[in-house]
Structure 1
Amino acid sequence: MKPMQAALGRKARIPAIFRRRGDPLTVSENERRVLEIVRRSGVTSRADLTRATNLAPQSISRLIEALMKRGLVEFGEKRIRGRGHPGLAVRLTRSAVYAVGLSIRTEGADLAVVAFDGQVLAERTLSPSSMAVTDVIAEAQAQLDDVFTVLDLDRRRLFGFGLAMSGFFTVEAGRMNPPDPLAHWSVTDLEQTFMQAMDLPVWLENDGNASAIGESLCGVGLTHPSFAYLYFTYGLGGGVVLDGSLVRGAFGNAGEFSAMLSPETHARRPTLESLRRLICEHGVEVVSIADLQARFDPDWPGVSVWLDRVKEPLSDILSAISGVIDPSAIVFGGQIPRPLAERLIAGVQFHNRARRGETRPTPALLVSAVRGNAAAIGAASMPLKYAFFQ
């Protein structure tokens, strides 16, 4: 599906309850600005919104009233700030919008449901009869139905569907070139297939970009608007967020950080699959990356060998990110266990030559602040980010 066709397909499937007159179909640009500020603040006041947007108080009041009528925001407890009368706190209405995300891994799939305020309501690991596209869709539909039933959620408030998968975008829009275990997914127009199956607007990203969006909305991005995200999984990918916006690049593949390495160094890139194999070679049976993530022991034989092996290429990647992108933080995320990420961070260094006794400022190295399945949560965050926030 070409980009214009994908956009038209998404618009056609926006549920009627979320539509507004005119174009854009969900919220106006000023409403989007207000919603973004409220999202980042958690709760705020009309006075704070006036200061943050430079809009007139009357305009802010009209915007808040319109958003309240549509159920997107609500008033909370009064806030006292400085002198004068306390103002009513404005916050997002959690139950106003729901979005679902599906992450396709080399070993399986995961589903997440996220509320309008970023609260993760449910996470499910899927058990499809096979990893064929049709079987994964059928299992995702069944699990989604179960989540809405168990949590007693209003299905009419389900807005959109985010899909994340390992791999890079090809020149054919809507298609990705995934790792070998998912090769059969490469022949499918995923956006069109999932839009038809789910009857919802669908957004497709690689898992690194999706996770970066989730981190921007719910994690490190709340304090670092500009960051790079390293997605550790079967391979190594990632995403770039600058001033709160995902940088996709001309072909949608920005953040393919492994491409920074030469062919000679590429084999030593820090992937969890290479770690899993090395641990197995040292006598510990680890059957999958999910197994590695669940049972990781820093004292397993092979872990220290792997850390030494990947230290140099990872330092090269971090140094290139720092020099080219200049973010305030680099996030270690994906399926990497937190203790492993912390040991990686402790062992790497930036190539940063001093000049007159001073070196360039370098990004903070941080472990992801998103708990749970980063790609599935990020995928669920995509419809909210693109349709309602900045």
Structure 2
Amino acid sequence: MRRAMARKPLISPSLVRTSDSTVVNQNERAILDVVRREGGTTRSTITAQTHLSQQSVHRLVDRLVERNFLHIGQPVISGRGQPSPVIEINPEAVFGIGISINTDTVRLSIADLNCNEVSSLNIDIDPTIRQTALPALHRAIAESLEASNIPRERVLGVGVAISGYRTGKEDVYVTPAPLESWSNTPLVELFETTFNMPVWVENNASAGAIGESLKGAGQDHSRFAYLSFNDGFGCGLIYDGKPFFGGFNNPGEMGRLYTQEQIRHRPALGELLLRLADAGIHIATIDQLYREFDPTWPGVTAWIAEVKPQLNLAIRALRATMDPTAIVFGGEAPAALKELLIAACDEVDLDRYGREIGLPTYIASALPGDPSTIGAALLPLKDCVLM
């Protein structure tokens, strides 16, 4: 993650190492990452999967147990010798809060150190009016922490996912027209002042990709692209298990790929709502589309055919540049619509000798709801604790 340690004094002092003001150091991150991915493991496995010596692993594990990041479980027999105790993540060691601001919905999520969602809700506010949304978000965070019995001092901070692209400054975005009140504003300062917590901000595609890297496709693929179908159409990139942000912090800004004529035919859900209305199906919001979508509606098949060339153009661009092993179809698209979009992708690619070229695996995201919300909740964990 880009933001390193500049804002760590805002994190609860009980979570910060006194030696260097970090939450955990790089070696401790490596251990936590192995234990989390393995779902509990032994010291010998940690040694085998990291660059650390056996002595270092024992010392660091003991320190993480003392700080309550790890638990010692029951011994298991692994090979010869005495049974080894299982090292397990303490999921309640730290938490991250995630907020996803879309054109018609605001969602909140709380994730534990195992990257599991412990709380999730849609917040009944109008996301287009910043002045009323901010205090409502503050209240929702406090109520969610209380309802989940999570002490404030165990929270690393708040991740915010928002539709839009950066202007050049890291936390200033140009948002879709309905979210104009959030545009051209330093969002980190705005949210930190409101929440009195450290804040990380990403666009919803990158946040969704981060969520997928920790909870979905990232379990099998370290280099993948995440297509985010929202009111617009964007992409997040994961390379070697880490989010890729590019030189200007705007990777996957798909709008720049299309001409003015093509852009209205890209696979953006806002465009689908217009085509459905033309066909007599009146869906007011993307959230309603997610809840009520029927692939047999009139207009759906025609829209898939309309966007197919632009969808495949985006995929060819990703293959030509990033060369991912997988492309994940996510965002706010309903499950059945993701499958229709995957079915519209090119199935065969040939080289000039007529031989098939390997294609990335197309994956429909299985993360519930809008993956950018859980991705936002994982931003603090990814930046402070995990690899």
- The normalised TM-score by structure 1 is 0.95
Aligned to 1:180: 177
Q: Whole-Å Cα distance in 2 between the matches of residues 43 and 357 of structure 1?
A: 47
Contact map agreement 1:174 1:189 (CA 8 A) in 2: yes
- CA separation in 2, counterparts of 1:346 and 1:129? 35
Tell me how far apart the structure 2 counterparts of residues 378 and 134 of structure 1 sit (CA, whole Å). Answer: 25
C-alpha contact (below 8 Å) 2:9/2:21 kept by paired residues: no
- 1:316 and 1:350 in contact (8 A); partners too: no
Partner of 1:137: 134
2:225 paired with 1:228: yes
Local SS of the residue matching 1:182: helix
Matched residue SS, 1:96 = coil
1:128 aligns to 2:125 (yes or no): yes
What is the match of residue 382 of structure 1? 379
1:211 maps onto 2:199 in alignment: no
Range moving further from structure 2, 174-183 or 364-373 = 364-373
CA distance, structure 2, for counterparts of residue 173 and residue 268 of structure 1: 30
1:87 aligns with 2:84: yes
**Per-residue CA distance 1:222-281 (angstroms, 9 max, x = gap):** 111111000000000120001110001122111113322233322210011111111111
1:332 aligns with 2:329: yes
The answer as to whether partners of 1:326 and 1:362 remain within 8 angstroms in 2 is no
3-state SS, counterpart of residue 36 of structure 1: helix
Q: Give SS of 1:118's match.
A: coil
Cα displacement (A) at 1:40: 1.6
Tell me how far apart the structure 2 counterparts of residues 187 and 262 of structure 1 sit (CA, whole Å): 25
Instruction: Report what 1:109 is aligned to.
Output: 106
Judge conservation of contact 2:348–2:359 (CA < 8 Å) in 1.
no
Measured after TM superposition, the shift of residue 381 of structure 1 is 0.5
Residues of 2 paired with 1:91 and 1:223: CA distance?
21
Identify if the C-alpha distance between structure 1 residues 251 and 59 changes in structure 2 by more than 3 Å, giving closer, same or farther.
Answer: same
1:235-274 correspondence to structure 2 within 5 Å: 235-274=232-271
Gaps of 5+ in 1: none
Q: CA deviation at 1:314?
A: 0.5
Tell me how far 1:348 sits from its aligned partner.
Answer: 1.4
Counterparts of 1:130 and 1:38, CA distance in 2: 38
1:169 equivalent to 2:166? Answer yes
Q: In the alignment, residue 257 of structure 1 is paired with which amino acid?
A: M
Deviation at 1:173, TM superposition (A): 3.3
Structure 1 residue 130 displacement after superposition = 6.3
Which of the residues 14, 20, 39 maps onto 1:17?
14
Q: Which runs of 5+ in 2 are unaligned?
A: none
Secondary structure, in 3 states, of the residue corresponding to 1:94? Answer: coil
Structure 2 equivalent of residue 152 of structure 1:
149
* Cα deviation, residue 389, structure 1: 1.2
| Cα shift at 1:112 | 0.6
The alpha-carbon deviation at position 175 of structure 1 amounts to 0.7
Q: 1:108 and 1:17, CA in 2 relative to 1: closer, same or farther beyond 3 A?
A: same
Q: CA deviation at 1:9?
A: 5.4
Q: Tell me the residue number matched to 2:277.
A: 280
Return the alpha-carbon distance in structure 1 between the equivalents of residues 302 and 169 of structure 2. Answer: 40
| Farther off after superposition, 310-319 or 290-299 | 310-319
Residues 316, 351 of structure 1: 8 Å contact kept: no
SS in 2 for 1:81: coil
> Which residue of structure 2 aligns with residue 353 of structure 1?
350
Q: Which moved more, 1:8-17 or 1:264-273?
A: 8-17
Mapped partners of 2:172, 2:263: distance in 1? 25
Evaluate the alpha carbon distance shift between residue 351 and residue 254 of structure 1 in structure 2; reply closer, same or farther with a 3 A threshold: farther
Verify the 8 A CA contact 1:315 1:350 in the aligned structure 2: no
Q: Distance in 2 between matches of 1:350 and 1:180?
A: 36
Deviation, 1:181, is 0.7
TM value normalised by structure 2: 0.95
Amino acid in the other structure paired with 1:212 = A
- How far the C-alpha of 1:373 sits from its partner, in A, is 2.6
Pair 1:64 & 2:64 matched = no
Aligned counterparts of 1:90 and 1:38: Cα–Cα separation in 2? 7
Letter in 1 for 2:118: L
- CA positional deviation for 1:219: 0.8
Report the RMSD for the aligned CA atoms in angstroms: 1.8
1:361-383 deviation digits (Å, cap 9, x = unpaired): 21100001212331111100000
In the comparison of the two structures, how many residue pairs are matched?
387
